[in-house]
Structure 1
Amino acid sequence: MSELPFKELDGLSLLRGLPNPKPQPVDKRGYGELASLYTAFSLEFANDLLSKFAALGQTRILDPFGGMGTVGEAGRSLPLEIALNDISPFASLSGRFRTSQLDALYQALDRVKAIDFDVSSGDEREVFLKAVREVGASEEPVLTWIGLTKDGENQAEMLATHLLCLIRIETHRSNRGSNPTWTKKASGEAIPRDHLENARLLVLDKAASYVSSLPETHSDFKVYHTCGDVSDPQLVDGKFDAILTSPPYPNRTDYIRHYLPATELLVGGDEAAERRLREDQIGTPLIRKEVPNPPLPESVVNIIDRIGAHDSYASASYYVKGYQFYFADMDRALRNFHRWLKDGGKAVIVVQDAYYKDIRIPVADLLIDLAKVAGLTLDERIDFKVKQALSNLSAHARKSAPKKHVQETCFVLRKG
């Protein structure tokens, strides 16, 4: 085991001395060059915290909302066992890419460089689906093998498929809407070969540069991947020393739709499967068939009631349901955190405030109240002021509350 920093930890504080979690320009120059990162914390923040866990002998770490895999990349050089889970199949592949050994990544680059794209069908989606089937040597949608294969199986196929997803995203730049988290569906038109080849060249150049910047993995570094909802049964109860994560916020961000060109490939063009993923993600803008009604803390109920009583259009008939879904989902997630942690284990969570029109939603306060009901105790908390917030992406939202007080919060919950 290599020498670790933070030798003289007093055991009293995980957050003391940590940098502001806000992502830095270096994050955008890293994996962010390949795919847009809606991440709540930087590689530096994650690495510093993981180093503290390692120094304390807390080596089994879970990120149940793994997103694009920042926690995984941050832990590459440490003697940790990291489990990454995300409901998005594209995010799951991104996490695999960012945690793989360098030789496997270079092999994937060579494999995709050698593909002879067949553009004769005139349907660009079929061109990419055929390429995915070629590198996967299977007629089954990739989502099937992400969900069923064990770690280490189909690794080469998954890494190559991830690169194909990035290439298709690059060819769809013109399909981005005015909302940066929304991508329009492709029309199935033909794709000019030179357009496709230029996209491949650009992505492979950026990917090669990114891979060359990655450190070798620590000899004791292990990573496990699951792709599913936070109630995924593959996550073992009482196994984890710590959780480090940033859950989705209640701002109706559709991450599945944002990466739509990739998602379409990974579900094999199955629109019903795509719709289920979009409905099941926490914070979904879609309305599910059943509105949950679990017992929630008074603070959460009051916020939901205020949103439902707002005088803006469709507050009571439509928008309030999204907040009911969100807090019911997060109630379930925090109860699962309690299950997954060992006794004495800690969960470090980063969240940001949200707004509904002019109503401020103090997400950290509300999640802490939910956590108390789930049996988790608040140990520490730090608040940071935020200049740019996800809730400001919409012009309508900016108009409703132009002078928003927004903060990002990092807090630590303890089991037992």
Structure 2
Amino acid sequence: MFDSLIIDSPKRKVSAQSKLKDFFPYYAGFPESFAKSIIGSTSLKTGAVVLDPWNGSGTTTTAALKLGFHTCGIDINPVMVMVARARNLQAAAVDLLEAEAKKIFQKTSSINHHVSSDDPLLQWFDIDSTLVIRQVEQKARTLLIRDCGTLENMELNKYSCLASNLYVALFNACRVLTKPFRSTNPTWLRLPKENEHRLSVTKLELKQQFFFQLSNVVASLRESNIYSDASTESSIIVGDSTTFIRENYADLILTSPPYCTRIDYTAATRIELALIAPLLGQSRDELSRKMIGSIKVPKIVCAPDINWGETCNAFIDKLRNHSSKASAGYYYKSHIDYFSKMARSMRGLAKSLKSGGGAVLVVQDSYYKDIHNDVASIVTEMAQFQGLTLFRREDFAQRNSMSGINTRSRKYNKPTGSVESVICFLKKN
């Protein structure tokens, strides 16, 4: 079934990037062309299920749906779940978006007349502007009751693709409006200093930007052309890869776990998480702590596990004994957290795969100072411990990576760039 896999470079090309950026700008992930090539070169039968436990913006689920397969996408970040679900809007429903969007701006002033003092939007906007934005978001929320039944039953996992698109347009509008607070990485939003002026936005400015962004979303959806058979199912939900298990569920798993480069992925969705804060049961810091690769030190640190493999334990030992500051403290704890979460995720991944099924993972190596972190080999050994068999590996050198942002690391003798590896496993009968 997987003998003839076509494996291209997983690096997102500029041309492919521009189309997705019109829909939602996000750094991480392989391009749709890569996912289509992998899925299309398998011998999956009709009715097969393609799973991505780190679904992100929904590249795997979108590609699989276009190719006529059942899909399931899991992501711990609720913003990315809404984005992924929005991308799966059927072509026939795209024309309904503008009519639904107009309802959001009708009589918004009657919804709410005050702003909570702990509203996270106040980090970037003044009180009057926050009220304008929150009124529009709250109106969008009330439209979602049709998906959830009642306000009390409102859950992110119940929102329709149509409703999710309205939120994506609002996400993108607020991302543009907060441009003065963008960091050196253009997809990240910095938190303003105490003495910095907060932004002032009128309802008309928000409306104009919202409908401009909605037009980009609509154009991207029309170009995407999602036409799936009515019998094809797509499930995209908020979930944690470390605890997610659906035994013998997927025929193919195609995914890319978070890289071990100490990047706070919630920083890329700061404004979006602030917008949907009323729908969340946790803060951004709490969400960040749960993520794989979190920059936040875990409150409880486990010991290295022999079952993580020889490569992982050797790396941890070298890191802990490195002479640089905090190697045995913060950096040791943060790496232990990464590997612990990855090991638990690989357990769930292996159990969720059907016998005879395949798993294709895109991973990236990194360095701690001058110590090579061979993530591809580490994940391979973790997968093998869970009963999976490596049958193919392709390496692709990448000159640019997010880890290069840290200029202080350049004093160490290590190669520039990174290596992205596509590692392929079978779950034998």
TM (norm. structure 2) is: 0.84
Cα contact 1:143–1:267 (8 A) shared by 2: no
1:317-332 superposed matches below 5 A: 317-332=329-344
Report the alpha carbon displacement of residue 30 of structure 1 after superposing the two structures with TM: 1.4
Asked if 1:208 corresponds to 2:218, the answer is: yes
Cα contact 2:259–2:293 (8 A) shared by 1: yes
Moved over 6 A (4+): 138-143
Match of 1:98 among 75, 84, 87: 87
Match of 1:32 among 21, 27, 50: 21
| Matched residues, number | 400
1:190-269 superposed matches below 5 A: 190-193=200-203, 195-219=205-229, 220-233=231-244, 235-268=245-278
Q: Which residue of 1 aligns with 2:132?
A: 127
Q: Which amino acid aligns with 1:293?
A: A
Cα contact 1:175–1:185 (8 A) shared by 2: yes
Deviations 1:5-40 (Å, cap 9, x if unpaired)? xxxxxx45243x332222122321212223223234
Q: Which residue of 1 aligns with 2:328?
A: 316
Asked if 1:136 corresponds to 2:141, the answer is: yes
Distance 1:231 1:74, change over 3 A: same
Q: Which residue of 1 aligns with 2:155?
A: 145
Asked if 1:178 corresponds to 2:184, the answer is: yes
Counterpart secondary structure, 1:379: strand
Cα contact 2:44–2:251 (8 A) shared by 1: no
Match of 2:296 among 261, 283, 286: 286
Q: Which amino acid aligns with 1:223?
A: S
Q: Which amino acid aligns with 1:91?
A: M
Counterpart secondary structure, 2:74: strand
Match of 2:3 among 13, 18, 24: 13
Q: Which residue of 2 aligns with 1:362?
A: 374
Distance 1:407 1:260, change over 3 A: same
Following the alignment from structure 2 to structure 1, what is the Cα–Cα distance between the partners of residues 242 and 357? 19
Deviations 1:174-218 (Å, cap 9, x if unpaired)? 222224564224686542345424432431232122122012322
Distance 1:41 1:272, change over 3 A: closer
Following the alignment from structure 1 to structure 2, what is the Cα–Cα distance between the partners of residues 300 and 72? 31
Q: Which amino acid aligns with 1:13?
A: D
1:6-85 superposed matches below 5 A: 11=1, 13-15=3-5, 17-53=6-42, 55-56=44-45, 59-85=48-74
Distance 1:181 1:332, change over 3 A: farther
Match of 1:306 among 298, 308, 318: 318
User: Which sits farther off after the overlay, 385-394 or 336-345?
Assistant: 385-394
Following the alignment from structure 2 to structure 1, what is the Cα–Cα distance between the partners of residues 59 and 242? 21
Deviations 1:91-148 (Å, cap 9, x if unpaired)? 001110111212333323432245326598634344333222212217999996114x
Following the alignment from structure 1 to structure 2, what is the Cα–Cα distance between the partners of residues 56 and 217? 19
Q: Which amino acid aligns with 2:32?
A: L
Following the alignment from structure 1 to structure 2, what is the Cα–Cα distance between the partners of residues 397 and 69? 32
Match of 2:406 among 383, 394, 416: 394
Q: Which amino acid aligns with 1:167?
A: A
Q: Which residue of 2 aligns with 1:275?
A: 285
Counterpart secondary structure, 2:65: coil
Distance 1:31 1:40, change over 3 A: closer
Q: Which amino acid aligns with 2:235?
A: Y
Following the alignment from structure 2 to structure 1, what is the Cα–Cα distance between the partners of residues 270 and 58? 18
Following the alignment from structure 2 to structure 1, what is the Cα–Cα distance between the partners of residues 280 and 315? 37
User: Which sits farther off after the overlay, 271-280 or 186-195?
Assistant: 186-195
Asked if 1:385 corresponds to 2:397, the answer is: yes
TM (norm. structure 1) is: 0.87
Distance 1:175 1:223, change over 3 A: same
Distance 1:307 1:231, change over 3 A: closer
Distance 1:37 1:270, change over 3 A: closer
Following the alignment from structure 1 to structure 2, what is the Cα–Cα distance between the partners of residues 91 and 341? 23
Match of 2:353 among 337, 341, 353: 341
1:103-122 superposed matches below 5 A: 103-116=92-105, 122=127
Report the alpha carbon displacement of residue 376 of structure 1 after superposing the two structures with TM: 1.3
Report the alpha carbon displacement of residue 245 of structure 1 after superposing the two structures with TM: 0.2
Distance 1:42 1:364, change over 3 A: same
Q: Which amino acid aligns with 1:322?
A: S
Cα contact 2:312–2:378 (8 A) shared by 1: yes
Q: Which residue of 1 aligns with 2:120?
A: none
Following the alignment from structure 1 to structure 2, what is the Cα–Cα distance between the partners of residues 269 and 96? 16
Following the alignment from structure 1 to structure 2, what is the Cα–Cα distance between the partners of residues 22 and 308? 32
Following the alignment from structure 1 to structure 2, what is the Cα–Cα distance between the partners of residues 270 and 37? 21
Identity across aligned pairs (percent)?
25
User: Which sits farther off after the overlay, 125-134 or 285-294?
Assistant: 125-134
User: Which sits farther off after the overlay, 193-202 or 133-142?
Assistant: 133-142
Q: Which residue of 2 aligns with 1:412?
A: 424
Long gaps (5+) in structure 2: 115-126
Cα contact 1:299–1:366 (8 A) shared by 2: yes
User: Which sits farther off after the overlay, 87-96 or 162-171?
Assistant: 162-171
Cα contact 1:20–1:45 (8 A) shared by 2: yes
Following the alignment from structure 1 to structure 2, what is the Cα–Cα distance between the partners of residues 96 and 383? 31
CA RMSD of aligned residues (A): 2.8
Report the alpha carbon displacement of residue 319 of structure 1 after superposing the two structures with TM: 1.5
Distance 1:36 1:157, change over 3 A: closer
